[in-house]
Amino acid sequence: MKLNELAVMLDAELEGDGEVEIHRVARIEDAGSGEVTFLANPRYQPFLNTTRASAIIVSRNLDSSGVRSRPSPPAILRTTDPYLAFLRVMARFNPPPEPLPPGIHPTAVIDPSARIGERARIGAHAVIGRKAVIGRDSIIGHGTVIGDSVTIGDGTLIYHNVTLREGTTIGARVIVHSGTSIGADGFGFAPKPDGSYEKVPQLGIVVLEDDVEIGANCTIDRATMGETRIKRGAKLDNLIQVAHNVVIGEDTVIAALTGIAGSVKIGKKSMIGGQVGIAGHLSLADGIRIGAQSGIHHSVKEEGQSMFGSPALPHREAFKIQGAMTQLPELLDNVRTLRKSVTALEERLSELAATVRKPNP
């Protein structure tokens, strides 16, 4: 692809020879002739004047005078968001492989009442239950089980060995990675007088709205009643537990190993780090940020709040506490020294008091 074609694709301002051919993408420190790279993180600024790439994608306001002064400078592509532009270039030069060939594998088991959309692909040993609906251009991977009355929208990709339990509703352009289970029973048990437990019926469903992505080996439980709902554009990493009746807001992202207890409501455009634990029945406002390994034990009402620690606190307060903890050994040494000094002073004062109380001869 010629650089001028790339500039048009990215709506970028081109500085340099538009006839240069680009064949690959590469990191800025590794790129060579015929390759395009990008600069978005200031940490990589030093490579701007040394990279051997044929072209660099940069922000519109970046000072490139050092690059232009080189004997054979690379071309510059100026965009509003260099990182997103580079992602588009990566997709152009490295299109993802097709998960399945067209058609339905002969070993797939499909109930006669199921409806399969045009151009849908279904892999080997997949099972499609009664009254299930598979949208147009959707892909169902090998060994995946689609339960009764499951609905899957158009253009959705369900990878291999996924389980979608009965009644689950999946929107359009959703991606669910291998090993994930959606719609299992929520963890509900009522204690009985004899100390045993009665299982609470789990009668609800799970709804994934459009453009959601779920990582590998996640578990998303059905609601006790009503819905567990993951809203449009939310992205979940691998190994995440979402309990019954949880609601996750639009465009929220959650990192791996997070556990969300029942009936939690998470606002839109939030970011939750890895290994976070969220206690049940809490509400978290829009745009919150939760640091990795934090424990959330109370609702967060302030939008855009950043939290960290266990129990989680506003991040500035939490960082002060973390900083103070590093000083605890020295503080303990000082306290022990002070205690010894106070004890010695008390003993000396006792001796002086005894001397004053003695009668004169």
Report the C-alpha gap between 142 and 130 in whole angstroms.
19
Sign of the alpha-carbon dihedral angle for 45, 51, 57, 60: positive
Report the C-alpha gap between 302 and 289 in whole angstroms.
11
% helix / strand / coil in the chain, to the nearest 5? 20, 25, 55
244 as an active site residue: the answer is: yes
- Residue 350: CB atoms within 10 A of its CB come to 10
Q: Contact, 134 vs 128, CB < 8 A?
A: yes
Strand segments (E) across 121-173: 121-122, 127-128, 133-134, 139-140, 145-146, 151-152, 157-158, 163-164, 169-170
Report the C-alpha gap between 124 and 131 in whole angstroms.
20
Of these residues, 244, 297, 298, 315, which one is catalytic?
A: 244
Closest alpha carbon to 268 in 288, 289, 242, 286: 286
Tokens of 99: 């998960």
Q: Which residue has the tokens 């390994």?
A: 293
Determine phi and psi for 216, rounding to 5 degrees.
-75, 145
Helices 3-10 & 82-93 angle (0-180, nearest 10): 120
Measured CA distances, 34 to 11, 31, 173 (Å): 20, 9, 34
Tokens of 214: 């779920």
Closest alpha carbon to 76 in 60, 94, 92: 60
Catalytic residue numbers read 244
